[in-house]
A and B are shown apart, each in its own frame.
Chain A
Amino acid sequence: MDPKATLLPGMNRRGISGFFKKQYRMFSRNLYLWILVLPGIAFVAIFYYIPMIGISVAFTDYKIGLGFFQAPFVGLQWFGQFFQSIFFWRLLRNTALLGFYAVLFGFPFPVFFALLLNEMKGKIFKRTIQSVSYLPHFISTVIIIGMTVTFLQPGSGILWVIVNFFTPTSATLLADPKWFRPIYIITDIWQTFGWNSIMFLAALSSVDPQLYESSRMDGANRWQQVWSITLPSILPTVLTLLILRMGSIVDVGFEKAYLLGNPATYETSDVISTYVYRTGILNGNFSFATAVGLFNSAINIVFLFIANTLSKKFNETSLW
């Protein structure tokens, strides 16, 4: 019996106390199932909800050893301090640019790759290429950056040799702020293009083959088929994923920026998340760092709204 179906009539017949009795009966009937979900609920409450409440330290003067609510309230002091700090514009620029370039250069690759694979007939060849392209997804960021550092060793690293061939350089590229963004984005594309193509391949495989059949009858050539059948049918998937990416444009992950950056390149490599780590964890300014993180979340939401509105306006695709 579906509990929901009887919930409202029960409420009508017996009033409020009947409603609670009904709730209690439903609850007690599933008592054993409730015991099973209890550890999961406790986990979510402790490790997801308590940190959420803990964001309130952004508005207090938190000192180590205190509980979340034991610190004195200071209002927007940390936000003001951050907006006036010399790091504010640099962090905002670095984070937004890195996120923006990653989408601009990184987003088209998986789409292009999926389209190429879709045009390919040989099954074994296709599958081999696909398998190979997923591999870097499973390798840790530490190893990706470790490989990058190793391959860029001046004098003997294979990438250094290649770069040096085109633009003679003796300096370590990793200590040069100009090179941080290109290295970050190229390695990012290398690591993710295969894996990110999965969604597009799934969308491509659901295109009705009869469409191609009938267009061929009408004399459409291959390019026309791609242009008027393949592309329109994956457009909703592409746009939805693009909105999601746009929404996280200023949400540059900590791990990679932290591992690839170093003090010599902070001019371009220091992003909000790495700054939160340095000021918060390393220097112990917990409240200030949380305020910086909260500011980051706020701009994330703004970007998500902008992307969604634009998409609704021009393409009638939106997340909500």
Chain B
Amino acid sequence: MTISIRNRLNEIGHAHRSFLTFIGNYQVEDALIQKMSIVIDEVLSNIIQYGFKSQEIHTIDIEYIIHKNILEMKFVDDGRPFNPLMIPQPDLNHPLELIEGGGLGIHIMRNLADDINYSRIDGRNYLVIKKSVL
């Protein structure tokens, strides 16, 4: 399934509802759907809140695929280059620093996904997140 949303927080609901429609065609446990819904929220809120310098409308393209029991979610945007994998892993002995210092959403996303791949091609960020649905 492929959809596009605008860079506004209230459009995340559209991405989420589309995901539920898509994943509803497969036998996937509720907990996994909840976790991937969190990942979608973290990725999109990050792009929307920090990806663009101005209030101009931009489009974020999203693709959901399941192939060989692997869910693949691809997010493409033309915002500033941002590789979430470059954010250092936080010190979990100091949870308040993690929570207040930023990067909390990325930390959660990295823990809930099996594999995350980032590339920057022709001025666009490509973030591909994989999760086994078995």
Q: Do A and B come from one complex?
A: no
